[in-house]
């Protein structure tokens, strides 16, 4: 069966050159599915995985806009409509200079499995642009978003494709994108999620990914009759996912000592509290500052600048029991993973998508610690996006408690599916296999039901 994986990977690399992140995401899934393919030759003969690797549609477009100096700027926009076997395409938009076709294909591919795990009827997609929002004025951002949506609007719709936010796309950007869609389509409809609460957004959507990751970590710990109370936690990133992961961890009595951005990380040994978190949210979301400014206000904390010449990130050398990587892909390599284990980490719960390299993941898997992959652990965001779609269809909004309870139930369901699938296919405790297998089976069976489309 290993021959099947190597032949598949050879083909993927030949057909999708220069897309290392996409190769990495496919390889991880293919390795997990070896046991499934052995037991179920029907998936192989129907070439289900081969079809899942090929996006149903890729849209790539020019995004011209004018900066504040009257200069013309040109960016590239993308939407990958990966798989609609179980529902309309669903997945975020990322605005970051590193965005390219391969990165969005990896994210769209992962999204298919993640959305399947949520128990909701959501297909998988992803999109974005190489536009860098950092340092741009509000006016520039709005003009960029309007130009981006002028093209994207032709391809999306509440029953076709429903984008949301991701890196660089938060409530402000969703607002500009929604406004332009509404104007072009001449209808008020749930075509984006992560909307403001006054105009169709769900309660708890901003919090959902971070909260969900913490709920998933609690579920993992419960299998060892443990919980988060008093646990020292490392969190990376300082954006949407990181902020709400910290909020929920603090609420549950954990001691969170770190946050980061691409310039460096801060350590606050005392742990964050509500006041400190309020400062961070204001700094990052309103003043749009950098994380190092935290140590100017809270002088007992320290700041360590990122050093690209190192082969490891010193953040992951800090002693802690739990780690929540919430920044970006491949932020933890094998050395970082080893350092974490030496520092006492027993739980790694991925708020970000694919934050651990394949070598890093194999170190974590071999160690037997609790390792929750992003597909499962950060699915709370898209789950509440699915709930936002349901509320929009009903023209009704649930209370904060109602949405939070549903989120907790969904995270518990996802956890159970991962545990069951890992056990059924002979790798108990392996959440990576569990998530890939459980996510795959639902989509694969739906594809078989629907014929060759």
Residues recognised as catalytic: 126
Q: Which residues contact 45 (CB under 8 A, 6 or more apart)?
A: none
327 near ligand NDP, judged by CB under 6 A = yes
Structure tokens at 250: 């603090």
238 binds ligand NDP (CB under 6 A): yes
CB of 35 to ligand NDP, least distance (A): 27
The answer to whether residue 111 forms part of the interface with ligand NDP (CB under 6 A) is: no
Answer yes or no whether residue 129 interacts with ligand NDP by CB under 6 A.
Answer: no
Could you give the 3-state DSSP secondary structure of residue 424? helix
Three-class SS state of 136: coil
Q: Least distance to ligand NDP from the beta carbon of 254, Å?
A: 19
> In sequence order, which residues have a C-beta less than 8 Å from that of residue 34 and are 6 or more positions away?
1, 2, 4, 5
Q: Least distance in Å: CB of 265 to ligand NDP?
A: 10
- Should residue 430 be labelled a site residue for ligand NDP when binding is judged by CB under 6 A? no
Nearest approach, Cβ of 229 to ligand NDP (angstroms)?
A: 25
Which one among 75, 240, 417, 430 touches ligand NDP, defined by CB under 6 A?
240
* Nearest alpha carbon to residue 354 among 54, 36, 38, 104: 104
Q: Does 80 bind ligand NDP (CB under 6 A)?
A: no
Q: Which of 163, 239, 338, 386 is the binder for ligand NDP (CB under 6 A)? A: 239
Among 351, 372, 386, 439, binds ligand NDP (CB under 6 A): 351
Q: What tokens does 351 get?
A: 């708020």
- Displacement of CA 302 from its chain's centroid (Å): 28
Nearest CB to ligand NDP, comparing residues 88 and 194: 194
Token pair belonging to 279: 């400062």
Q: For ligand NDP, which stretch binds (CB under 6 A), given 55-63, 238-246, 361-369, 442-450?
A: 238-246
Which range of residues in 8-16, 43-51, 53-61, 237-245 is near ligand NDP by CB under 6 A? 237-245
Question: Considering beta carbons, is residue 8 or 204 the nearer one to ligand NDP?
Answer: 204
Contact segment (CB under 6 A) with ligand NDP among 5-13, 44-52, 273-281, 348-356 equals: 348-356
- Short-list 199, 196, 229, 202, CA closest to 214: 229
Phi, psi of 284 (to 5 degrees): -85, -35
Give dist(CA 297, CA 47) in Å, integer: 57
| Beta pairing, strands 232-235 & 124-129 | unpaired
**353 is a site residue for ligand NDP (CB under 6 A):** yes
**Which residues in 292-321 contact ligand NDP (CB under 6 A)?**
none
The three-state secondary structure class of 235 is: strand
Distance in angstroms (rounded) separating the CA atoms of residues 141 and 157: 23
Give least dist CB 107 to ligand NDP, A: 6
Rounded to an integer, what distance in angstroms lies between the CA atom of residue 24 and that of residue 374?
A: 14
Q: Which residues bind ligand NDP (CB under 6 A)?
A: 165-168, 170, 209, 237-242, 261-263, 326-328, 351-353, 378, 381
């Amino acid at each position: 069966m290993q021959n099947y994986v190597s032949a598949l990977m050879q083909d993927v690399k030949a057909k999708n050159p220069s897309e290392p992140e996409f190769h990495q995401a496919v390889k991880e899934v293919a390795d997990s599915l070896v046991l499934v393919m052995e037991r179920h030759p029907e998936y192989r003969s129907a070439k289900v995985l081969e079809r899942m690797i090929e996006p149903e549609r890729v849209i790539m477009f020019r995004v011209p806009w004018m900066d504040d100096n009257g200069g013309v700027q040109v960016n590239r926009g993308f939407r990958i409509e990966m798989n609609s076997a179980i529902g309309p395409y669903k997945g975020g938009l990322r605005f970051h200079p590193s965005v390219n076709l391969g990165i969005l294909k990896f994210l769209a591919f992962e999204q298919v499995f993640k959305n399947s795990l949520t128990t909701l009827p959501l297909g998988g997609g992803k999109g974005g642009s190489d536009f860098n929002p950092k340092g741009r004025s509000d006016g520039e951002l709005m003009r960029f978003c309007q130009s981006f949506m002028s093209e994207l609007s032709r391809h999306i719709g509440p029953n076709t494709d429903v984008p949301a936010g991701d890196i660089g796309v938060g409530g402000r950007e969703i607002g500009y994108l929604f406004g332009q869609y509404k104007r072009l389509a001449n209808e008020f409809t749930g075509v984006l999620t992560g909307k403001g609460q006054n105009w169709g957004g769900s309660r708890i959507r901003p919090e959902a990914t971070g909260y969900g990751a913490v709920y998933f970590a609690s579920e993992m710990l419960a299998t060892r009759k443990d919980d988060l109370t008093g646990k020292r936690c490392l969190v990376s990133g300082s954006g949407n996912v990181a902020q709400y992961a910290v909020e929920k961890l603090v609420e549950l009595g954990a001691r969170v000592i770190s946050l980061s951005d691409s310039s460096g990380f801060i350590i606050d040994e005392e742990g964050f509290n509500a006041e400190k978190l309020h400062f961070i949210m204001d700094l990052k979301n309103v003043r749009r500052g950098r994380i190092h400014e935290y140590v100017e206000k809270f002088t007992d904390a320290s700041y360590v600048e990122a050093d690209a010449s190192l082969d490891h990130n010193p953040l992951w050398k800090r002693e802690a029991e739990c780690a929540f990587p919430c920044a970006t892909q491949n932020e933890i390599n094998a050395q970082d993973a080893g350092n974490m284990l030496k520092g006492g980490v027993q739980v790694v719960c991925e708020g970000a998508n694919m934050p651990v390299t394949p070598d890093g993941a194999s170190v974590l898997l071999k160690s037997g610690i609790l390792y929750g992959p992003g597909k499962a652990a950060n699915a709370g965001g898209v789950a509440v996006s699915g709930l936002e779609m349901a509320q929009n269809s009903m023209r009704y909004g649930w209370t904060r408690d109602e949405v939070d309870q549903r989120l907790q139930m969904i995270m518990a369901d996802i956890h159970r599916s991962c545990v069951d699938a890992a056990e059924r296919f002979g790798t108990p405790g392996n959440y990576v296999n569990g998530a890939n297998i459980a996510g795959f089976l639902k989509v694969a069976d739906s594809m078989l039901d629907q014929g060759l489309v």
